[in-house]
Amino acid sequence: MQAARGTALTGPGAPADGASDQPADSGEPVRGDLPARHRRVGILIATAVIVLGLDITSKLLVVANLSDRAPVRLLGGFLHLLVSRNPGAAFSIGTSMTVVFSVIAVGVIVVILRTSRRIRSVPWALTLGLLLGGATGNLLDRIFRSPGLFRGYVVDWIELPHWPVFNLADSAIVCGGILAVLLSARGIGLDGLRGSAEPSGTARDTEPGDAPLSQNGGGTGPVSAGTDPAPGDDVTSPPARDDAAAADAGGAPRPPVRGDQPADGRPADGGAG
| Domain ranges for the chain | 41-185
Could you tell me which residue, 236 or 273, shows the higher pLDDT?
236
* pLDDT at residue 77, rounded to an integer: 87
156 is catalytic: yes
In the chain, pLDDT over 70 holds for what percent of residues? 57
pLDDT over threshold 60, residue 198: no
- Which is the catalytic residue, given 33, 156, 243, 248? 156
Q: Phi first, then psi: what are they for 83, rounded to 5°?
A: -105, 125
What is the distance, to the nearest Å, from the Cα of residue 202 to the centroid of all Cα atoms in its chain?
A: 19
Lowest mean pLDDT, pick from 70-74, 115-119, 214-218: 214-218
Question: What value does the mean pLDDT of the chain take?
Answer: 74
What is the distance, to the nearest Å, from the Cα of residue 64 to the centroid of all Cα atoms in its chain?
A: 46
DSSP alpha helix (H) spans, 91-187 = 98-115, 122-144, 168-185
The string of pLDDT tens digits covering residues 155-188 is 999 999 988 899 999 999 999 999 999 999 999 9
- Which is the catalytic residue, given 21, 25, 68, 170? 170
Confidence category of residue 202, pLDDT binned at 50, 70, 90: very low
At residue 80, the 3 state secondary structure works out as strand
Distance CA 34, CA 117 (A): 10
In this prediction, residues 96-115 reach a mean pLDDT of: 90
Q: What is the pTM of this model?
A: 0.59
260 is catalytic: no
What sign for the dihedral angle of Cα 96, 98, 104, 109?
positive
238-269 burial, b if ≥16 CB within 10 A, otherwise e?
eeeeeeeeeeeeeeeeeeeeeeeeeeeeeeee
Confidence category of residue 16, pLDDT binned at 50, 70, 90: very low
Distance CA 244, CA 29 (A): 52
Confidence category of residue 261, pLDDT binned at 50, 70, 90: low
The string of pLDDT tens digits covering residues 116-138 is 988 999 999 999 999 999 999 99
DSSP label at residue 16? P
Confidence category of residue 214, pLDDT binned at 50, 70, 90: very low
Distance CA 217, CA 239 (A): 25
CB atoms within 10 A of CB 33: 11
In this prediction, residues 76-85 reach a mean pLDDT of: 92
* pLDDT at residue 99, rounded to an integer: 85
What is the distance, to the nearest Å, from the Cα of residue 83 to the centroid of all Cα atoms in its chain?
A: 44
